[in-house]
Amino acid sequence: MTPNDFRRIALSLPDVVAASHVGHPDFRVGGMIFATLGYPDARWAMVKLKPEQQAKLVAAKPEVFAPVAGGWGRKGSTNVLLSAADRSAIKDALATAWENVASKPSAGRQKARRTTIARSAASKAERDLARAFARVRAAARAAKLPEVEEGVSYRTPAMKLRGKFLMRVKDPDTLVFRCTIEEKAMLMAAAPDIYFETDHYKGWPTILVRLSRASDAELRHCLERAWRLQAPAKLIAQREDPTGAGKPRRRRARISSHRQRYKRGTCARYIEHDRAAVGLRAFASGGRPAAIVVDCGAAEPHAGRGIECGRHEA
């Protein structure tokens, strides 16, 4: 038996194509190898058998068939010494190997099946995460926290405030919330059945929450706690007092208006009896009485109570 004889017999089987693998010619059906040539050297071929089929051939013709070295041989891969084999033995061995592989799903079908299984698992995981996030979404609506938006963190559903992290769904029964390290210790001590951490989160300002143990009210508290840590002071004040009624009105100092009047050139004689003149002197001298010079543009000299005209001397 020569390599060309082996090749002709292999290619005579249905739907077989020739290819190569790791530098050796091989023969495939449905994209899967069932025989090769030139391994371990040019004197040998290989057929892919089952362990029990291999044992029968090796026992019947040990001078022709031998297990491949290593794990592949234990699984049934069998070397064929071409110079010692006859056509009948090779034909039977190749037919058996072809049937072993052809009866299995093709590589394309196997890949499609694996893809379908993976997509199904991913879809189920997404549904579980969405179910957990629905509870958090309801808690956020009940808490009425302004400017909270839904997003993604580490490829899981999350909530953020102006892009800052508030929480995310770690897995269907675990939520991660923003929290100070001091609060984390107190919460875990007070309710260890709800709050906990893993080694990955030690030293970080986040806390883990068991969704199955947490009530809706507890989720609202967790969200509000995270929101207050990330929200600016102005937004917190606006939420606590949306009408602004509690905020004192800011009164503009009268001294500021007088200063503007003087900058426009108001003459000192028109304000020498103004009660704000005393405050004006204090403003100009850091609290000590002092003369303030103003250019009035008047034709006659005048002055009054420490306020002098820049163009006229009294």
Task: Say yes or no: 191 and 279 in one domain.
Answer: no
Using one digit for the tens of pLDDT, what is the confidence trace for 194-251?
A: 999 999 999 999 999 999 999 999 999 999 999 999 999 999 988 887 776 655 555 5
Give the model's pLDDT for residue 312: 41
- Dihedral of CA atoms 94, 100, 103, 108 in degrees, nearest 10, equals -90
Segment 40-56 shows an average pLDDT of 93
**What was the pLDDT predicted at 286?**
43
182 and 280 share a domain? Answer: no
Shared-domain flag, residues 236 and 156: yes
Give the pLDDT band of residue 112 (cuts 50, 70, 90). low
The answer to the question of residue 164 being in a domain is yes
Residues 137 and 206 reside in one and the same domain: yes
| pLDDT of res. 302 | 45
Percent of the chain beyond pLDDT 90?
Answer: 57
Per-residue burial over 34-68, b if 16 or more Cβ lie within 10 Å, else e, is bbbbbbeeeebbbbbbeeebbeebbeebeebbbbb
Gap between the Cα atoms of 169 and 136, Å rounded: 9
Are 260 and 182 contained in the same domain?
no
Residues 86 and 146 in one domain: no
**Nearest to 196, CA basis, from 205, 181, 204, 185:** 185
pLDDT over 90 at 165, yes or no:
yes
State whether 234 and 171 are in the same domain. yes
Q: Does a structural domain hold residue 112?
A: no
234 and 267 co-located in one domain: no
Rounded to the nearest 5 percent, the helix, strand and coil shares of the chain are 45, 25, 35
Range of the domain at 72: 3-104
For the chain, give the mean pLDDT: 80
Model confidence at 100: pLDDT above 80: yes
Last residue within a domain, chosen from 240, 270, 295: 240
Whether residue 19 has pLDDT greater than 70 = yes
Q: What is the CATH number of the domain that holds 40?
A: 3.90.1150.30
- Give yes or no for a cis peptide into 172 (omega within 30° of 0): no
Q: What average pLDDT does this structure show over 175-185?
A: 93
What's the predicted TM-score (pTM) here? 0.45
> Are 140 and 93 found together in one domain?
no
Residue 296 has pLDDT above 60, yes or no: no
Domain shared by 77 and 11, yes or no: yes
